[in-house]
Amino acid sequence: MDFRLVPNQKPDDILKKLRAHLDAQGFDDVKIHYWGGEPAARTNPDDPFIKIVVDAAAEVYGTPMEIVPMVGGSGPNHPFVHDLGLPVATMGHGYPETKAHAPNENIRLDLYLKHARHMARVIKEFAKQN
């Protein structure tokens, strides 16, 4: 199982709640192998860095980037946002038929190259402002 936490949830607490739920339902024989986890993190959509990312996307893709404030994702975002005080933005290059995390996951080369241009523009604009 993979749990995608929301703000104010802690991995250890969710693990304890899962164990308690399994036990209460008669599944005390089910073993849990905890492979680690991170608390959730969220960057304010009004952060200036998000504007850089969004503006750079419009130049590359020719259409406004959709801002989704909460997405199910993985990664060490919490230490960057909460410990270092840095904003985090994710910028995917998938498309509806990408089949993310399936055995036949795929990407389109044209979108991969556009994503690379998007990243380059983000870095260039970020460097100008800092």
pLDDT averaged over 10-residue windows placed end to end, the chain, 130 residues: 87 96 98 92 93 93 86 82 93 84 92 94 90
Are residues 89 and 47 located together in one domain of the fold? yes
- Whether the Cβ atoms of residue 87 and residue 47 lie closer than 8 Å to each other: yes
Exposure class string for 77-115: b at 16+ Cβ within 10 A, else e = bbeebeeeeebbbeeebeeeebeeeeeeeeeeeebeebb
Are residues 18 and 74 located together in one domain of the fold? no
Q: At what angle do helices 48-61 and 109-129 cross, to 10 degrees?
A: 140
What pLDDT shows up at residue 21?
Answer: 98
Give the number of domains in the chain: 2
- Cβ atoms within 10 A of the Cβ of 28, count? 10
Q: Which domain holds residue 80?
A: 41-129
